[in-house]
Chains A and B, each alone.
Chain A
Amino acid sequence: MWIVTGPPSCGKTLLMRILRGERHPDSGDVIVGGESLYRGSPEHNRRFRADSGVVPESFPREAGKTVVDLFRLSALVAEGVPGAEQESRMAELLPLVGLSGAEGEEVASLSTSERTRVALAVELFRNPRYLFLDMVLANAGSEWADKLGGLLRALAREERTILMMERQLPEKWQAAIVSSSRPAGPFLLYRLGGPRPVRMAAAEPPPVETLPEKTGVWE
């Protein structure tokens, strides 16, 4: 689980888009599973994006769209999930982010914190292997930082790679940092939780782990 912190407009979102394979970097590269997201096959890039979830900093507030509509949209990405399983997964996820019974709520009527948590649940719905979260802690509010931290750490223990972009870490989180912070241009990069199991590292290196060594956007 990685966290990139930096001041406003320093390029956190841009970095996240580059790491997701959405924005070609001016220099450098992003390697996932031994293949470049930009110089490799478009299908590799597509598969990576399909296998990852993203919670943007600002979530579109479309009039008339309900929480269940967002889950439907997410289900379109995860084609092949039976309808009954989708129902039960949604019923499990919403309480996890404190929004039990919010299925019929209009997204536009939710607070920023609620929208952010809904967006996270919508991404978790597809069980992504990689999770990109932009300002989730800041938008969810301080009262949710610990709960979301617990949830995200649990996900990281399930061998998911999580990359968070935040302006600053909550104070309690500072204590949980395992490896020391490392300055990287305008950003600070943190790694939370224990080191990844050796067998995972050998099988497939996590995609963001190689980033500090890259030049270009980091400088």
Chain B
Amino acid sequence: MSGPSLWWIDWSLHGGSMRKEAAGRFLLCFLAALYFLTMLLSGGVSRFLSGQYTITAILRIGVPDEEGAGIAAKVAVMAPVREAHYRTPDEAWEEFLVAYPGLETLRSEGKNPLPGYVEVRLRPGRMSEEGIAEIRSALTPLSQVEKILSGGDVMPGLLRMKLWANALLWSGFALVCVVFLVILAMQERTRAARLFPDVSFLAERGIPGNRIAVRRAAGAFLAGGVVAVLATGASFFALLLASGRFSLVRTVVGPAEELLAARFLPAVCVFLLAASIFPGLASLAGWRAAYPKGR
């Protein structure tokens, strides 16, 4: 027997069932965290689409390679841009031949009929009409640029579909959270009812029910926090393994090590806080359901 406290009354008196519940909660939290981290990293379908989509600025024939590379370097530092590369006319020709083999004869007298071009890829979160317009407005005034290919009329529809797909995926995450909450509340209610003889024992000996409820909730908050940290850590490593092993995961979801970037920290902290608060609230709600006022 080690110094028990009302914070851990459930663990102290129903240790066996608490361990099973904690294992179940860990699994649920792991799934929720995996979903959340995946969404955070991929932005839903944004990363996949931004990987497939490029803005191509075709340069005029005769633009020196240095100027082409200079344009790519300037575009690369713009906020919506993930990466920008200059392809020389020779590289463009090789790509053309790979796509259309047997057309070598088009290059008469050794002259390359293709110009160089700058290929721009957007960040997953900035792949929007505004982001595209920003790149276009930066490239259009340049005299070296002959034409900009950015998806044309198809893009607005595609971007709307992206929004809907992302909304659907986030709704899925919300559903997971709701299921998590409902299961927590049911577990807490059942356990609170099972604690009835123990609560009566304590109440008869001068420990008010409200004090027990609040301290149990505080214990559930802390225990929930520990479970959330462990489950989120486990889901991060699972994602790291999967993205390292499967290129499809890396393409669709992204490299998991990016999650260590500071920009993801606030979202992860909010997730951990919510995953800690949920069990605390569920504990209070379960208590209130098992012990209505006056009981």
Which residues of chain A have a CB within 8 Å of any CB of chain B?
Answer: 20, 22, 45-54, 60, 62, 68-69, 71-73, 75-77, 79, 81-83, 86-87, 90, 126
Residues of B within 8 A of A90 (CB): 1
Number of interface residues of B (CB under 8 A): 18
Residues of B within 8 A of A20 (CB): 204
> In the bound complex, do residue A76 and residue B1 qualify as a contact, i.e. CB atoms below 8 Å apart?
no
Residue of A nearest to B17 (CB): A64
Residue of B nearest to A90 (CB): B1
Given known A76-B6, A82-B3, contact A47–B12 (CB-CB < 8 A) = no
Bound Cα distance A87, B3 (Å): 10
> In the bound complex, do residue B2 and residue A83 qualify as a contact, i.e. CB atoms below 8 Å apart?
yes
> In the bound complex, do residue B6 and residue A75 qualify as a contact, i.e. CB atoms below 8 Å apart?
no
Residues of A within 8 A of B202 (CB): 73, 76-77
Residues of B within 8 A of A69 (CB): 13
Q: How far is the CB of A23 from chain B (nearest CB, A)?
A: 11
**Which residue of the partner chain, among B2, B6, B197, B198, contacts A79 with CB atoms under 8 Å?**
B6
> In the bound complex, do residue B6 and residue A72 qualify as a contact, i.e. CB atoms below 8 Å apart?
no
Q: How far is the CB of B190 from chain A (nearest CB, A)?
A: 15
Bound Cα distance A149, B46 (Å): 80
CB-defined A-B contacts under 8 Å, sample of 10: A50-B206, A52-B205, A68-B1, A72-B13, A73-B198, A76-B6, A77-B207, A79-B6, A81-B3, A87-B1
> In the bound complex, do residue A72 and residue B12 qualify as a contact, i.e. CB atoms below 8 Å apart?
yes
> In the bound complex, do residue B1 and residue A75 qualify as a contact, i.e. CB atoms below 8 Å apart?
yes
Residues of B within 8 A of A82 (CB): 3
Residue of B nearest to A42 (CB): B208
Residue of A nearest to B5 (CB): A79
Q: B4 on the interface (CB 8 Å rule)? A: yes
User: Which A-B residue pairs are the 7 nearest by beta carbons?
Assistant: A50-B206, A49-B206, A83-B2, A46-B206, A83-B3, A77-B205, A60-B197
**Which residue of the partner chain, among A60, A72, A77, A126, contacts B1 with CB atoms under 8 Å?**
A72
Q: B201 on the interface (CB 8 Å rule)? A: yes
Bound Cα distance A46, B202 (Å): 11
> In the bound complex, do residue B1 and residue A49 qualify as a contact, i.e. CB atoms below 8 Å apart?
no
Q: How far is the CB of A81 from chain B (nearest CB, A)?
A: 7
Question: Which residues between 183 and 204 of chain B lie within 8 Å of chain A, taking CB atoms?
Answer: 197-198, 201-202, 204
Given contacts A20-B204, A60-B197, A76-B4, 16 further A-B contacts (CB under 8 A): A46-B207, A49-B205, A49-B206, A62-B197, A71-B1, A72-B13, A73-B13, A73-B201, A76-B12, A76-B202, A77-B202, A77-B207, A81-B3, A83-B1, A83-B3, A90-B1
Residues of A within 8 A of B2 (CB): 83
Question: Which residues between 1 and 40 of chain B lie within 8 Å of chain A, taking CB atoms?
Answer: 1-6, 9, 12-13
Residues of B within 8 A of A77 (CB): 202, 205-207
Question: Which residues between 206 and 254 of chain B lie within 8 Å of chain A, taking CB atoms?
Answer: 206-208
Bound Cα distance A52, B207 (Å): 12
Residues of A within 8 A of B6 (CB): 76, 79
Bound Cα distance A60, B6 (Å): 21
> In the bound complex, do residue A72 and residue B206 qualify as a contact, i.e. CB atoms below 8 Å apart?
no
Bound Cα distance A129, B206 (Å): 14
Q: How far is the CB of A91 from chain B (nearest CB, A)?
A: 11
